Each structure stands twice: as structure tokens, then as C-alpha cells.
Structure 1
Amino acid sequence: MPDHESSADARERERLHLLDCSMLLDTPASEEFDQITRLASQIFDMPVSLVTFVDADRQWFKSRLGFPLAQTDRASSFCTHVVETADVMVVEDTALDPRFERNVLVTGEPYIRFYAGAPLRLDSGHVLGSLCVLDHRPRTFSPQQCDQLATLARMTMAHIELHQRAGRVNAVTRLPNRTQLFEDLRGRPAGTPSALMMVEIMDHERMLAESRAVGSEPLESLTIAFAARLRQLVGRSVTIYHVGEMRFCLEPDGNTHAQREAFAVQAVATLGGPMAFDGRAIELAPMAGLVEFDAGAIRPSDALRMASAALHSGLGSGAAFAWHDAALDASHRRAYRLMREISPALARGELRLVYQPKLNLRAGAFTGVESLARWRHPELGDVSPGEFIPLVESGALIHEFTRWVLRTALEQLARWHAQGIELTMAVNVSSRNLEEASFVRDVRATCAVAGVDPRYLHVECTENAVMTSARTQAALEEIRAMGAQISLDDFGMGYSNLACLRRLPVELLKLDQSLVQPIDSDSRAWLLVQSLISMGHSLGYRILAEGVETREAFKMLAGAGCDAVQGYYLSRPLEADAIPGFLRLPLPEWET
């Protein structure tokens, strides 16, 4: 143990190691655990019951009843407090507890107001996670109920310990499983050059389709037959591990990179081909992922993760096998880190808004700005919006994030209005925002609290966002009815459906910068933009061109009758306090 490591840090390191050895993280749902959460929910009359495991950076739910998320970041976890205290914890009203009143799981979905959790404690005293019950309203919880919850937690641990004692062989193929693989890798002398190859019989989507069609038994028979084919290929001297429903691992033959690659090529070719399945023959095209490493240099779980990542990269490229790509792996791990740190970053004030002015060519003035999020990470520095915004949009955080943007942008707009600076404010929203039942109500309430008339709010959304469902279109109609303007962002990017477009309450089309930027050097691009401006006007829309970066492009757009422009030629996105000074600068000249 390093000299500087505290006893608490050492114990946490031991706890995480024991959690890793439990082989429970990221495993499929299990009826034996689901029975416990159902029982807990019934006993305590609670809508939510969870079996949670607290990892280094997240809490993951082995069983969840009445809860929409499969995992959360550890920073927002209630159960991490149970891990730290190793005792039953009850929070009768989260909104009144200073530890949790600003927690994203309290202020946003799933709106936790009551929590009670009991530790899942090993004989060593280390706590892996908790059995907890939640409610969406404040509750009381008696000492007797605390004892009952602790008893259920001990029952859960009995299941876990039974799983650990019996869980070294796959029940279907009787091959060593992931637990045994990890133990065998740990037993290798440090520094031993090693390699791991993961083979998948068929991709997950195809497996699910087959399972829906014929059930699990034919798939199990197929898996057993494939294991026999794999054994025939490698012989009895090589250990084969069954590490997933249709995934196997082994050490590839050979001592060099080239030899191992040759083995992988031969393996996927030999293992493929027709195989009997549910009374018919199906064609198998197995895939493989390989990773090389020195024993002891990485955790066994990381070796398996890297082999899995290599397999997935091969799937993405259409290759039958692929080597682990360290750069791609680092990119995935960075994306995961950013995704779990965005919510805490919001709470810490690391994210801010900047504002890009929009020039109204009809009015001859800058009449609006677009709000754009920026993130300065304390360790990673400035994180590109192109990197973190897609992560926000793909997860549950999109709702909290958009509420923050709306609140921050409209509060700033109110301050400008108080100074006599009458601008409009554009805010970007996603299809998931528009599908949220409370979104329109949130927009109306945020305008009211900020003291901003909704007609100064411009809601920007992409073409693919507004055309996803009737609910998104209805939400836009309601927002438009408030007086806000609806703008279609990234117009011309390929999603356009003019038949749908004419039914939307859209007033302004924003030509995507990929169309606008080349117009001063590409005659075909310019012809396309001119056509879009003309078509938009003929359909009754105003047109804004974004991505205007040169004087020549600016003059061309103004001459073509474009209604408004936005881009670096006019101004980069500015901090809020720079906007008043910018508006006092002389306007660029143009001819219409």
C-alpha cells in the first residue's frame, strides 16, 4: 500500500476489490433478487425498491422495482452514505435534509422524497451496497421497520454468498465462467505476457430476435454445440471460459502479435458456417476481439472489458475480428467519465452560457442572441460542446440540463431588459424535452419566474427532433401559443420532410452551417442556399443563415434576401457581460 494512502482509502480499495470479485456488476436481472425487491415493496408499502451495488464512480441496480434508471453516478447516490456508515439510514423527507435537498434525484426525476436503506455487509465488514426502499412523498419509518429492512438485507447477502460459492461454472455449458477467468488471471505471475480473445456466437440484436421467436432452450442447445465446436478447434489443453450468454474467452495460440492474429483469423473462419438450430440450419458468423497485456498490469475485469470493446469495434467496422484499440478505448472511457460528471459539474457551477449575437438584416440591428453551453472541467480544461452535448442528450440528464439552460438564459435576458437592451433569447431543445409531459409547463413557469414575456423566447429544435412524434408537435403548438417563436435548426441536413414541415408551428428556418460555409468558394453550394432561401420565403418562413465566417459570404446572403445571419464574421459567442459593449459597435455594411 502506498505510504500516502489513508486507512479509509485502503479500506475503500479493498471494498471495490471485493465488489469486483462478487461478479455481480452488470449482470442480467435475476428472479432471486427480484423476489426480494417485490417483498420489500409489499412489506413497507413503497412504490420503489432496489438492490444496489456502489462502484467507484456509480451505483448500479441489480434489481429495481418502480425505478426508471439502471444506474446513477455515485455523487448523487443515497446508498453511498449507507456504504460509508455501514448502518441503516432513513431520510424521512429528502427536501428537508441538507445532504439531499439539491440532489438531482430529488429535484428532478424520479423525485425521491423518502429513502430507507440497509447495508449489504460481508463478514469482513465491507459494505457492497444496500437494499433500499423509496417513495415520492415524505414518510415515517419506525425502529421495527428498520429491523425488518436489515433482515431483508441479510437475506439478500445470503443470496450473494451462495452465488459466490457456487458461481464458478456456467450452468449451461459447464465451462469455467467469468469468476474463474478472473481468478486464473490474478494467479499469473506479474509481468507475464498475456492475451485474451473473446468470441461471440451472434450479435446481441440477433440473439434477442431468435429468443423472441423460439425461446431460450434452442439458444442454449446452440451455445452448447458451439462450445463443442470451439473445443474441437483448440483441443483439451486450452481453457475455454463461458463469460456471457453467447460469449466465450480463451488465450489465443501463439507468442507474438502476428501468431495470435493468425489464430484469430483461422478461428472465426473455422467456427463459422451452418449449425443445427431449432430443427433447421442457421449460418453462424462469429466475431472475435483480442487484447494483449502483461499480467498484473491491469485488473482482470479490465482485460475482459478491453476484449469486449475490441469485439464491438469489429462489429462496428464489419470485421470478423479486431484488436483492442487503446485510443478508442480512452475515448470511450473519457465519454463515460464526462457523462457521469456532467450533473455534479452543473451543481458546482462549472458549466456556463455564452451568447452569440444574431443580426436581423431586415431591422438593420442585432435583435437576438443564441444561448450556448460551455464546460470548463477542473482537470480536463475546456470540453467541446460537440463532445458533451450528445452525451447529455443521450441520457436522463437532458431534462435537468435544459431546465438549467432555460433558467440561466431567461434570467440573463431579464437583466438585459432591465438595462434597456431589448433582445430575444434562443434556447436549443431536444425531442426528449418536447416529449416530457411537464416541459411546456416548465417553459411557462420559467418565463414567469424570470419576468420575461414568452415572445422574447425563441425555441430552436432540429428537424429530426420535431418530426419524431405527435407529442413533440403538440408541445411546439403549445409553446407557440404562449407567444414564443419556433425555429428549425440545422435545416437542410437531410431530414427535411416538407409535407410534415408545413404542419409545424415553425416561423424561422436556420440554414445549417455546413451548407453556408462553402458558398463563397463553391458555386453549387451557393446555388443550393439561394434555392433554400427562395423556397423558404415562398412557404412563408423567415431564413437565418448560421456559420457566416467571411465578409464575402455575408454580402452574398444579404443580397439574396436572407432575413438574418449568425457566425464568426459577425461575432464569436460572447460572455454575458460583453454583450452590451458589443451592441454599441458599428454594424458591418451590406447591400440588399
Structure 2
Amino acid sequence: MRTEAVVDLSPQEWEDLLQEKDEKLKRALRDLADVRRALDKSTIVAITDHRGIIQSANDQFCRISKYSRDELIGQDHRLLNSGHHSKEFFKNMWATIGSGQIWRGEIKNKAKDGTLYWVDTTIVPFMNQAGKIYQYVSIRNDITDRKAMEAEMLASEARYRIIAENTSDIISVINSDGDFLYLSPSHQTLWEHDVPAEKFQNLLEWIVEEDRDIMSYAIRYTYSTGKGYMAECRIKSERAVAIWTETKTSPVFDEQGNVTKLILVTRDITERKLTEEMIHHLAYHDSLTDLPNRRMYVQHLTKEIMQGKRFQSNLAVLFLDMDRFKDINDSFGHDIGDLLLVEMAKRLKSCIQPSDMVARLGGDEFTILLGQQGDSKRAEEVADLIMGQLQKPFELSGHLVNISCSIGIAQFPQDGDTAEDLLKRADTALYSVKSQGRNGYSFFDPTMEAKSLERILMENEMRKAIDQQQFHVYYQPKMDISSQKLTGMEALVRWVHPELGVISPGKFIPIAEESGMILELGEWILREACKQNKKWHDQGHILKVSVNLSARQIFQKDLVERITGVLEEVGLSAQWLELEITESIFVKMEEATAVLKQLREAGIHISIDDFGTGYSSFSYIKSLPVDTIKIDASFIRDIHHNQESQAIVKAIVTIADSLQMNVIAEGIELDDQAEALQQNGCAHGQGYLFSRPLATDDFEQFLAERN
């Protein structure tokens, strides 16, 4: 039927059919030509005979190999051999295509100019009707850039693997459930066990149970936010106590930006945590007696007051000190004085109940909080007990020492409803006992707040002292302990009264603070010290002068402007001035920090004086704009034979180093103390071993001798 239909075509229909086929053929030829052009632009195409002799090479082949077509035709592919592949490689290739199968692989070739390139190769064998191969068509794509990238990735992976497997930190990879995908070998060293990595299934199983929520939160946070997180937690190990670790979590993203896994870097921070705990204990306890210090006492008293307001209960605060403690230090020495304070602390603790608290505020000042219905009757009973206990002789290193004490008592709620008010009024009551002959106790009475005649006279005399030039600035050298090189000096004020003689700063500074005259006096000291330092600079003695800044001064509204004004007035650069502050300013932490930042921004150095005796704590220090920590003399006095003092100094130096702060010890009097400080990392100090505070002329002589 089909043949008949064709036969029945008219001549015109035959012509149309032939024309249609001709058009299809032309289109097919055009398509083939387009394919060829496309292949020439992007793909290497070569045709060889059954022996591998090149019969045809397209333009792309010539461009990549840098051979002309005439140079390629008639050659076999050994012309392009780079020597990279083994004979076995080519033997297997020929075995495959010789059997009529298609071969695929990657080949490294060498161009005419000697450069090497990689090609992804497919070789297709063609057979004649007799089933024999008569030619091969090879299709290649240039993959040189990809291979270079792969090589770089492998090298990079190898580098990171070396780092991961040799670092002391633990590097691990986990999924969202905390399962380990990778764990570096360092876990065995850090966690001190022989458990192989394959036995570690899940990170959380190795974390102390109480800390698992911390790590779980870190994992969830990083997965949900795509941000890193730092977590501190304890890890189980073969040690007697758990290991403190610090772990940084970092996300790994897929192409869609989803977090697929986490990389963890974990390090042992046990030593740092122990140091922080020591510093924390130091911040809340007196280093000599191990009693709570002022900061801890004030916090506890504040809490008790809140409870007292809630349950309408009574409290009593006892403020006491030894009578004529200075005479004991002068007669027997500071070592005996320290032993006396330690024994006194023990006796005070024996006079109170577990619910009460005794604290040392500094020097020979102690305070006691009587909780749980600390009414006047109980306060009297405890005061009588203390008086009796302290009147018993103390036997200290072969010396028999007899003391007495004075006690001031303030009560909540009648004498005040804040810790500051109660302490102040107990101190006022104590001063009243002192003024009446000492060795007794007294309850606070509002009439006591009237100033004593002595204080009124002292205050009046102070008002005239600046104008009459009765104050003088002395300078105590600061030294490099090892080289004995002078590194700076501290400016100290002295009052030389025309009738009373030299008046101790311990007497007039508190009055200056209370009366507000410290503002005028402090600015005078600052101006004198800066003016004198500028003179020494002009003489070639380039040193930094330290000036004490009182708590009252630091909260002046225009303090920064006043100090920078003085520096500009005398022509001294800010970098040669250091302001020493005491830890008491941290009662108003935020206000003090803001002022210190402004001073630092002006180029002035900041130092914390008497570190360790008051309010400081590691958490405060690491966030403060401070350049130098001055270790209090109480830690230095027995450092040459007291392991605890050495440990405290070493801990302070370690923390200061980590925070990039300087450390200087004050109160150095013996060579043994200087040697012990050096052994524990403290390189700078001041004290009578090097020089007592010197008048201006004497200090100039000291400078001349040093030069």
C-alpha cells in the first residue's frame, strides 16, 4: 500500500518531497557545523587510527597543546606524555579501548612549551562491519584549574590536620546532638586517660552533669544563630577533681547557608580558674587574718538589713580597734604586730555565734555584726566578752604583749538603715570612747556627731596651712628591683606645722577628706608634683611621677578638666603622670570607671594602690581602665618566709600579665623580700630598701648619684 501511495505521486508532489528532504539535510548539516564550532571552542576532539596515530585534531586541541595541526597529524599521543602516569596506567587504558569499551579518566599532558595541563578524557572506539576497531575518537576537557584547586585543598587539609593533631587544645567536630564526628588525639593528654577516640560517642557524656546545660545551650545557640559561643564547663577525667575547660563553638555552613555541624576548640583553664578563685578569695578576705574584709562585710550587712526590715528584727554593729597599736609596732616590730592581729582575730571569733560575722577593715580596725535579734543587751554581753578576752596577755614569739581596745556600737533600726550609716555611727561611737580615755565601749548617741575640739582645731589649722606653705611634697623612688634602675617616683605630702611639728598624714588626710579640703589640697599636690617633674625633665631626668587621687577627688564633676589644665599649665605631657587610686572608689564602680576611662583617654596612667586590702576582685580589675597594680605592703612584709604570701603575689602577677598590666610592690625593706618578689615575677618595687621619701633637694641628690 505504501509503495502504491508513493508511485501515485504526481511530478509536482515528487518535486516537493525532494525539496523537503533537501531542506532537512541542509538543516542537519548546519546543526552539525554548529556542534563542531561549539566543540572547537570548548572541547578537545581528536581522531586516531587503530594504532593511536592522530588523524584529526580540532582547534581547541591545538590551542591547549600549543602544537599546530600539522605538527599533531601523523603523531601518536606519546608526543604529549608528561611522564606523570605509569606504564600500567596506559596499559590498562589500551586494554579497555582495545576490547571495544569506552575509557574515561584524567590525564596529565605536556604542551609544546613544556607546561603541564590536566584533561578529563573520554575515548570512544569505532568498529567496522567486520567488528574490528578502525579508529578512536577522544573527547577531552581542560581541568587544570580544578586540579590545582584540589591540590591546594588537599595541602590545606593536610596543614590543618597537622595543626589539629599536634595542638595542645582539643579540636573536635560534633553534630546538633553533640555526637563526635571528629576528635583530635590531644584529648588523651588533656583529659589524662587512655580512652581511644572511637570510644567517645557524645560530648555531653564527658561533661560534669551540673554543667551539661551550659554546653547544651552553646550548641543550640550556635546552630540557631550561626554565631560562635564561648562556654566554660568541667570535664570528667582520671584526675581527682574535674578539669575546667573553655570551649569555643564555631558553625560550619552548607551551600544554602544552613549550619551542618560545629567545630569546637577546647582548652584546659583549670589553673586559671584556681587563680581566679584565689583572687576572688583575696578580694573578699583579709590576707593576714583570713577574716572577711570590708567589701564582704558590707555586702553581708546590707543583706541582713534587708532581712531585718522584712522581719522587723534588730541588728548591732560593733566597731573596734586596739588602743595604741602603733606603739606595739614601734616597740616590737611589724612581725609581732601582725602576729597580734592574727591572734586577736581568733579571740574575736571565739566571742560570737555562727550567725554573726567578724571582719577586718584594715590596720587594727575590726567590725562585728550581731544578727538574729542583736539587741542592746546582747551587744553589751558581746562587748564585755571581747574586752575580757583581749585584756588577757598575748604570748607572741617570746614576747608578752598586753593590749586594750575601744568599741563603738550602732544598732539597726534606730541608728541607721544602711550599711554605710551603721558603720559610720559605730565609728563615731568608737571615736567618742577614744576621746574619753579608751579601753571601753559606748553605744552611738546623736550628740556624738558633733565634731571634737581637736578636729575643729585641726581643720582650722589646715585651712591656713596651704596659704602659709606648711605642706611639702616628698618623693619616694620607684625602682627596677633587678637592675636597681630608677623608674619613677611617688609624690607624698608632708605637713610641717610651725608649732606642732610634723603631723602624720594618717591624722590630717581623714579630716581633709571629711571636710572636703582634700579637693584643694589634692590639686595643690598635683600641681607641685607636675611642676617639679617638668623641671627634672628639663634637666634630662625623664621620669613618671605618681600622685595619689582620693575617693573624694575622683567624683569631682570637673576632675578631668582640672588635671589636664594643670598639665597644660606646667607644660608636662600626660604620659609622665600616673594617678594612684585606692580600692575604696569601687563602692561607686560605674561612676569611677567612667572617670578613669576619661583620664586614660587623656593619656594619663592609672594605678591601683594597696591592692588586695579592700574592695578589689578579679572580675572588677579585668574590666577597669588600669595600667598598674600596686601590691600592698602587707603581702610583702613576710613574703621571704611565708608561702601563702608568695602564692598571692604570684597569682596577682599572673593575672596582671594576662591583662597586660604592670605590677609594683610597695613596702620593700629587706633584700630577702626583693629576691622573693623577683622569684615570683614582680620586677618593680619601692620601699625603705631603696630609699625613704625624700624632700625635693634630697631627691635631686638621689638623681645625681644615680646618674
Q: For this structure pair, what is the TM-score category when the shorter chain's length is used for normalisation?
A: 0.3 to 0.5
Larger radius of gyration: 2
TM-score (norm 1): 0.44
TM-score (norm 2): 0.37
